């Protein structure tokens, strides 16, 4: 999301337009773009990572169903953000109504894995991989040449547009574009073996 | 995959492309599996740098979501088919009911359309009976002489009396309908009947 950028949200609008025309792959790109932000947002309400993933999935599903009605009055992310917040709140309300006790017959309890989904997401291997990815990315950023590191930090952390970064770094916009790309490529080279 | 295209992925993620460029780029991106993976990794890099809660499992969200959308669309298609089938069923039922309704109404009107005024002219009765003889479902008397004169009340036969009398020569079904009509008080308004209707 970069409202100050050259596209002014055009990337999202192009993808949304394609989703409206029945292009599911375009929706996948939107999901890939916002899933981390949305998951992060939902985890402020739902602490359990497995539940948060389910709520995120539900929020995206609601968004997919509602895309035909999206008029573009607000940015796509603002609209998606509202859907995610409402879905998370509804989830909490529904969770409070749910009875807490799990009535499981003794005979049924053998082989019963109530937290199977949680195990998939929060397994030690999975958590270790998350940590490793985080470390690799941080180390890769630290190891970047100054001009590349500054460019990618201004973009990813500060959310500045290429034009704003060009002004801050006193260089042409084309150079900013190239520096950010080269920074990503350098980090990706370290990340790719883990994925 | 060229460096130029990879740079476009980076540019697209940063929303630094015009609409036309984005259109062209998205079409190309969708055809290129490796480019889509790169797009995912670039997004992950940004999330990790911003300290967002990221998880390798989150990249599976797209897959899980795709399956959920498939199920959703399949259920929607099924609901739509059920609605269509129900609609067709209701329409067919209405058509059948309407068809039988009209047929019963026709039978009823044949029997109930008798005009007492016309019935008052006894000389026309044999002629009317011979007209009715054309209809095979009616049991007609062997001779016109068997036809009994209508009971007169104050010089005029009432519609009900005519119907009761007429019922003797009707089929069982018509008789039932006529009797039901009489009991339900659905006798046609004699003042609105015309002599032509009686002949017909």
Distance between B29 CA and the closest CA of chain A, angstroms: 10
pLDDT at A175: 97
The residue among A23, A135, A181, A186 with the most chain B CBs within 10 A of its CB, best to mutate, is: A181
The residue among A156, A162, A179 with the most chain B CBs within 10 A of its CB, best to mutate, is: A156
Asked whether the predicted pLDDT for residue B161 surpasses 50, the reply is: yes
**Contact criterion met (CB below 8 Å) for B120 and B126:** no
Note whether B70 contacts A: Cβ–Cβ < 8 A: no
Residue B51 CB-density burial (10 A; 0-12 exposed, 13-18 middle, 19+ buried): exposed
CA–CA dist B199, B160 (Å, integer): 18
pLDDT at B52: 82
Number of cross-chain residue pairs from A and B with Cβ atoms under 8 Å apart: 175
Q: How many CA atoms lie within 13 A of B39 on its CB side?
A: 29
Question: Closest partner residue to B68 among A43, A61, A153, by Cβ?
Answer: A61
Q: What is the pLDDT of residues A106-140, one digit of tens each?
A: 444 444 333 344 345 566 777 788 888 899 999 99
Tokens representing A145 are 């040449």
User: Terminus-to-terminus CA distance in chain A, angstroms?
Assistant: 24
Q: What is the pLDDT of residues A67-104, one digit of tens each?
A: 999 988 889 999 999 999 999 999 999 888 766 544 44
Per the model's pLDDT, the better-predicted residue between B159 and A68 turns out to be A68
pLDDT at B138: 52
Closest to B116 in 3D by CA, of B83, B163, B174 = B163
Q: What DSSP character marks residue B133?
A: T
Asked whether the predicted pLDDT for residue B13 surpasses 90, the reply is: yes
Burial A85-106 (b: 16+ CB within 10 A, else e): bebbeebeeeeeeeeeeeeeee
A45 — pLDDT class (breaks 50, 70, 90): very high
Work out the number of other CB atoms within 10 angstroms of the CB of residue B114: 23
Question: Closest partner residue to B22 among A10, A57, A187, by Cβ?
Answer: A10
Rg (CA), chain A: 21
CA–CA dist A35, B44 (Å, integer): 10
CA–CA dist A28, B127 (Å, integer): 84
Coil/strand/helix, residue B156? strand
SS3 content of chain B, % helix, strand, coil (to 5): 70, 0, 25
Tokens representing A54 are 């389910």
Helices vs strands, H then E, count in chain A: 10, 0
Tokens representing B163 are 């119907």
The residue among A1, A15, A32 with the most chain B CBs within 10 A of its CB, best to mutate, is: A32
Q: Indicate yes or no: CB of B16 within 8 angstroms of CB of A6.
A: yes
CA–CA dist B39, B60 (Å, integer): 14
Asked whether the predicted pLDDT for residue B1 surpasses 50, the reply is: yes
């Amino acid at each position: 999301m970069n409202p100050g950028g050259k596209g002014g949200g055009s990337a999202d609008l192009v993808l949304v337009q394609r989703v409206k025309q029945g292009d599911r792959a375009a929706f996948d790109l939107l999901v890939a773009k916002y899933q981390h932000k949305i998951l992060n947002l939902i985890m402020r309400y739902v602490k359990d990572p497995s539940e948060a993933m389910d709520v995120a999935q539900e929020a995206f599903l609601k968004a997919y169903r509602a895309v035909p009605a999206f008029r573009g009055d607000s940015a796509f992310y603002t609209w998606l953000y509202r859907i995610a917040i409402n879905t998370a709140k509804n989830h909490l309300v529904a969770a409070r109504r749910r009875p807490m006790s799990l009535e499981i017959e003794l005979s049924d309890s053998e082989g019963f894995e109530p937290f199977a989904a949680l195990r998939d997401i929060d397994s030690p291997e999975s958590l270790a991989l998350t940590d490793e990815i985080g470390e690799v990315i941080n180390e890769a950023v630290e190891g970047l040449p100054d001009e590349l590191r500054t460019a990618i930090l201004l973009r990813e952390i500060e959310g500045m547009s290429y034009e704003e970064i060009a002004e801050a770094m006193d260089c042409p916009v084309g150079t900013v574009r190239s520096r950010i790309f080269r920074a990503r490529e350098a980090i990706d080279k370290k990340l790719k073996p883990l994925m | 995959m060229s460096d130029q295209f990879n740079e476009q992925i980076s540019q697209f993620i940063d929303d630094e492309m015009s609409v036309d460029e984005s259109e062209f780029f998205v079409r190309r991106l969708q055809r290129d599996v490796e480019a889509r993976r790169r797009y995912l990794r670039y997004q992950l890099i940004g999330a990790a740098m911003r300290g967002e809660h990221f998880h390798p499992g989150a990249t599976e969200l797209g897959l899980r979501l795709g399956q959920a959308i498939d199920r959703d669309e399949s259920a929607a298609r099924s609901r739509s088919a059920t609605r269509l089938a129900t609609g067709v069923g209701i329409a067919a039922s209405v058509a059948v009911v309407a068809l039988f309704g009209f047929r019963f109404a026709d039978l009823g009107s044949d029997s109930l359309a008798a005009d007492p005024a016309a019935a008052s002219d006894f000389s026309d009765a044999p002629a009317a009976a011979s007209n009715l003889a054309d209809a095979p479902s009616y049991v007609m008397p062997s001779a016109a002489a068997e036809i009994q004169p209508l009971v007169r009340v104050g010089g005029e036969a009432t519609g009900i009396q005519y119907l009761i009398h007429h019922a003797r020569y009707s089929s069982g079904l018509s008789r039932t309908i006529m009797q039901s009509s009489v009991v339900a008080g659905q006798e046609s308004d004699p003042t609105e009947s015309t002599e032509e209707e009686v002949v017909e």
